[in-house]
């Protein structure tokens, strides 16, 4: 039995579920399978400053195409002081708010897009999922990220199968620096504009706009060697202008360009303190 067949059987053999979708390939593919097998599936998407606008538009487009029962919600994490403090376990508070809100609006079991690869990372959101009895179909069927993308391709989801990873915008803010809801859309706009400009010049795979103490770091994932200093001199003003226009001039006092480093905004030394507070 293929992974797609196993996932189809998983949903076919269970009552309809509520699928929480972020707009990424994981949860979107899961929602497609769940709804096609169980038309009474409910789909929930949280609209938030931490969620890129293009992700929300992607969810809406697929909801219309697939005929989902789409519920757009405000999970309220931007009113949670524990989340806004941006501790190492910020994701725990994010998912707690999300699942609380979803379960206030449905009696169905909630399903997430967590896959096998996610289990190897530090993911405090999984603790919140366990507390809310959230199920993880990919994990139960033993689907990792590579297999998940293959499944998306088999389903004809060509716009999703090669979609780059896109963690929430709060993940760009260094642990311990408070989350500012008004700054998150600026981070997204910086990444979008730089992607459009830089992809014409270099073999670009991804852009991250990191907020640090005293600087903004633009991290570029490429498949070729590039001159980061030259790019900073040429395109740094784009970053500065966007932050200044949004009222965050102090953040753009220093802009650096450097190679992409996964999860570099997460400071592990704060982890013990964060866990002791949750």
- pLDDT tens digit sequence for 157-198: 999 998 888 789 999 999 999 999 999 999 999 999 999 999
Domain borders along the chain are 3-161, 169-268
Residues 40-74, buried b or exposed e (16+ Cβ, 10 A)? Answer: ebbbbbbebbbbbeebbebbeebbeebebebbebe
Kindly state the average pLDDT of the residues 92-111.
98
Judged by DSSP in three states, 44 sits in strand
Judged by DSSP in three states, 28 sits in helix
Q: Give phi and psi for 230, each to the nearest 5.
A: -65, -40
Q: Which CATH class is domain 3-161?
A: alpha beta
Q: Is the pLDDT of residue 273 over 50?
A: no
Higher pLDDT, 165 or 24: 24
- Which among 67, 71, 40, 36 has a CA at the least distance from the CA of 56? 71
Whole-number Å distance between alpha carbons of 86 and 277: 12
Q: Which CATH class is domain 169-268?
A: alpha beta
Q: Which residue has the tokens 């599936």?
A: 41
Whole-number Å distance between alpha carbons of 215 and 177: 12
The 10s digit of each residue's pLDDT in 38-88 is 999 999 999 999 999 999 999 999 999 999 999 999 999 999 999 999 999
Whole-number Å distance between alpha carbons of 202 and 208: 15
Quick one: pLDDT at residue 151? 97
Burial of 201 (0-12, 13-18, 19+ CB in 10 A): exposed
Kindly state the average pLDDT of the residues 207-221.
95
Whole-number Å distance between alpha carbons of 129 and 154: 28
DSSP state of 46: E
Tell me whether the CATH fold assigned to 3-161 matches the one assigned to 169-268: no
The 10s digit of each residue's pLDDT in 225-263 is 899 999 999 999 999 999 999 999 988 889 999 999 988
- Cα 62 vs. chain centroid, distance in angstroms? 17
Q: Which residue has the tokens 């169980």?
A: 38
């Amino acid at each position: 039995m293929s992974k797609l067949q196993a996932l189809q059987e998983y949903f076919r053999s269970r009552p309809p579920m509520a699928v929480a979708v972020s707009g990424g390939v994981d949860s979107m593919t899961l929602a497609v399978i769940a709804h096609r097998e169980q038309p009474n599936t409910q789909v929930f998407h949280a609209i938030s400053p931490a969620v890129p606008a293009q992700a929300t538009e992607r969810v809406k487009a697929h909801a219309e195409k697939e005929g989902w029962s789409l519920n757009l919600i405000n999970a309220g994490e931007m009113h949670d002081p524990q989340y806004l403090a941006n501790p190492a376990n910020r994701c725990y508070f994010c998912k707690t708010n999300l699942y609380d809100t979803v379960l206030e609006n449905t009696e169905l079991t909630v399903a997430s897009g967590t896959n096998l690869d996610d289990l190897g990372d530090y993911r405090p959101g999984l603790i919140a999922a366990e507390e809310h009895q959230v199920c993880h179909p990919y994990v139960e069927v033993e689907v990792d990220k590579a297999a998940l993308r293959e499944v998306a391709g088999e389903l004809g989801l060509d716009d999703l199968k090669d979609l780059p990873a896109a963690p929430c915008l709060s993940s760009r803010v260094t642990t311990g620096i408070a989350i500012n809801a008004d700054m998150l859309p600026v981070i997204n706009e910086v990444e979008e504009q730089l992607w459009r400009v830089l992809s014409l010049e270099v073999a670009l795979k991804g852009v991250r706009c990191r907020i640090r103490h005293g600087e903004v770091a633009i991290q570029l994932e490429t498949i070729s060697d590039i001159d980061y200093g030259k790019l900073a001199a040429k395109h740094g003003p784009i970053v500065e202008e966007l932050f200044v226009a949004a009222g965050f001039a102090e953040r753009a006092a220093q802009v650096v360009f450097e190679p992409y480093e996964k999860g570099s905004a997460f400071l592990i030394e704060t982890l013990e303190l964060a866990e002791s507070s949750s």
